[in-house]
Structure 1
Amino acid sequence: MKQWETSELYREVKSRPSEDGSLPFQKDSEGINTEARRRCLHLLEYSPRTIYQLKKRLMEDGFSAEQADDAVQYAESFGYVDDGNYAMEYVRTGCQKKSRRQLYMQLSSRGVDKESIEDALEAYADEQENTVRRLARKRLTQKPPRTEEDFLKAVKSLVSKGFPYEMAKRAVWELRDEYGSTNE
């Protein structure tokens, strides 16, 4: 017995039929091996994944593209795979530390479609101002600024993380009075 055959998700899905009425983990009429379905559910048990990530991983594990597609569709039929929800959750957890641009690029590289990314980013648009202020404060606390150049370095640091220049500059300059500058 494979390790993932004992998992909770496997046991839950094993006990209920899919949308087409077939029992889980049986070869269907086309003879597609259900091993890919099992592997897909096992992968989802450890962390949420996008459709692209699942298909890629299944093919890396030696399953054909057809088997990978079938397995992902099977997981989707139970609601275990949803790129829109994945994007929302990823942005919700990442918006505290990353810029909008970083989040967009990371989700894009994970195969999430542009529309889902934009919807998720729009839902957390207000968080970007708070994030840039928090990161500016952290930067200025870790390396207390002594000169005007130190403040500019803090702005550059935020811009390099993907924040717009004006937003980074405004956040650093708001904190400037608090930290002061010796050479003005």
Structure 2
Amino acid sequence: MKITEILPQKRNNRVNIYIDGEFAFGLDEELRFKYDLYVGKEVSQDFIDEVIKAEEEKKVINQALNLLSYAARSRKELYKRLAKKGYEEEQIEKAIAFCEKYGYINDHEYAKSFIRDRIKLKKHGSRRIRYDLISKGIGQEVIDQVLDIDEDEEYERALELAKKRIKSYKNDNKQAIYRKLGGYLARRGYPYSVVTKVLREVLGELEG
């Protein structure tokens, strides 16, 4: 078999490969040069299969990079998104390995960024952040390394939230406020020790 024509596609950086006068497959131009494809080159079926396999893997890598261009993702999140699109496990693993190799995904850095955002933007507590990181597929070892929240700072954030929230409970008695405010802070992910300390503070101010 022989390559008889190579024509550019309308899409950038892609070409159509013709073998023995008939269209054979489309190809990323980078792979064309990698496999040294040119008009007149003799090719075997095994060689063609290898090139087509590389093209399929390249498509998955490009899809992974496209997904990452919209938002940072953990390894698990990226895997799930690619699997949902119907790609094979081997192709997905190779695409993820490529992304990890070149720094497009890094669960350690992702977790640190996630923690910063959750604290700054959503005022979540450490328990909620830990749970959310686990749901994102971040391993316990990574979480333990990066989730180092100062308890005093966490208390101050919880206290700030409580002082704002308690305004909506002005018609409730002390017991109801304790229950509602405690539930609110717990749902935000603050540890029991922080919640009880905050409740003592704000309820003490009410009594004062």
Structure 1: unaligned runs, 5 residues or longer: 7-22
Listed one character per residue, the Cα deviations across residues 104-137 of structure 1 (whole Å, up to 9, x for unaligned) are 1111111111111112211x33442222112211
Deviation at residue 25 of structure 1 after TM alignment: 5.8
CA distance 1:24–1:151, change in 2 (3 Å)? farther
Amino acid at match of 1:82: N
- TM-score, normalisation: structure 1: 0.75
Larger radius of gyration: 2
Quickly say closer, same or farther: Cα 1:74–1:171, change in 2 above 3 A: same
1:128 has 2:154 as partner: yes
1:117 matched to 2:143? The reply is yes
Unmatched 5+ stretches in structure 2: 1-8, 14-27, 36-49
TM-score normalised over the length of structure 2? 0.67
- Looking at structure 2, the residues matched to 24 and 65 of structure 1 have their Cα atoms a distance apart, in angstroms, of 25
Aligned pair count reads 163
Q: Distance in 2 between matches of 1:141 and 1:25?
A: 62
Q: What is the percent sequence identity of the aligned residues? A: 25
1:61-99 Cα shifts (integer Å, max 9, x gaps): 111111111111111121110000010011111124212
Look up the match of 2:97: 73
2:191 maps to 1:164: yes
Question: Relative contact order, CA 8 A, sep 6+: which one is greater?
Answer: 1
The Cα RMSD (Å) is 3.0
**Does the 8 Å contact 1:132/1:163 carry over to 2?**
yes
The alpha carbon displacement at 1:47 in A equals 0.3
Please identify which structure carries the higher strand content.
2
Partner in structure 2 of residue 54 of structure 1: 78
